[in-house]
Amino acid sequence: MAGKVFFGVTMSLDGFIAPVPDVTVAEVFAPESQSDPRVQRWLRKWSELQAWLFPQRSFRENLKLGEGGEEGLDDDLSKATQERIGANVMGKRMFDGGERAWPEEAPFHTPVYVVTHTEREPWERPGGTTFHFVNDGIESALFQAREAAGDQDIRVSGGAELIQQFLNAGLIDEFSISLAPVLFGTGIRLFDNVDADRILLEQTRVDPSSQVTHLTYTVSKR
């Protein structure tokens, strides 16, 4: 039996999942750009959005950030999400940022299918992550991910544009939003360019913690 296709993101209270993209990926991670006020603002907002996740024990262990960390509802949900994934699909912008930021043992531990126009040989990392570069669209990436995942689930890791493509194509079964008590004002919205007339949602879970509220929905076609 095929697993579910899902995504999970942290979102600001006013609907953004990333700061406004007024800096490039290269600038965010370049040492010489760290004093740039635009880069500092981007990093500050991103850190505020993800503040609930960084201290979690399972997150720290996955990124090899050291022993210890918080335990409880947030950690349980983070760990359960990681354990259900048999393959990941992501966009090129997310990969470009992660290639510079992830540790040598990338934090996926599954095959990852990168939707891109760039041709590149598979990139194998320690710890079970291999990046495959797919040049013929999201359906092809999903087909390959299903083959690799077996009966486990497939996560559409991001970014927002790729998630929107999957939603509009009717390829998402379920998603979760960790709603953070922060306001961005501007940034990248999760549901921009989504054809709302074609999507029907059912709320299936609400898990509030002291830091965020985790909302889970199933997705069907109207």
> Which of the four pLDDT bands, split at 50, 70 and 90, describes residue 75?
very high
Beta bridge partners of 113: 89, 132
- Tell me, what's the pLDDT at 1? 64
pLDDT at 104 over 70: yes
**Mean pLDDT to the nearest integer, 35-54:** 93
Q: Give 176-191 pLDDT, tens digit per residue.
A: 999 999 999 999 999 9
**Mean pLDDT, rounded, of the chain:** 94
pLDDT at 106 over 80: yes
Domain layout of the chain by residue ranges: 5-21+84-221
The CATH number given to 5-21+84-221 is 3.40.430.10
> Which of the four pLDDT bands, split at 50, 70 and 90, describes residue 207?
very high
pLDDT at 19 over 70: yes
> Which of the four pLDDT bands, split at 50, 70 and 90, describes residue 21?
confident
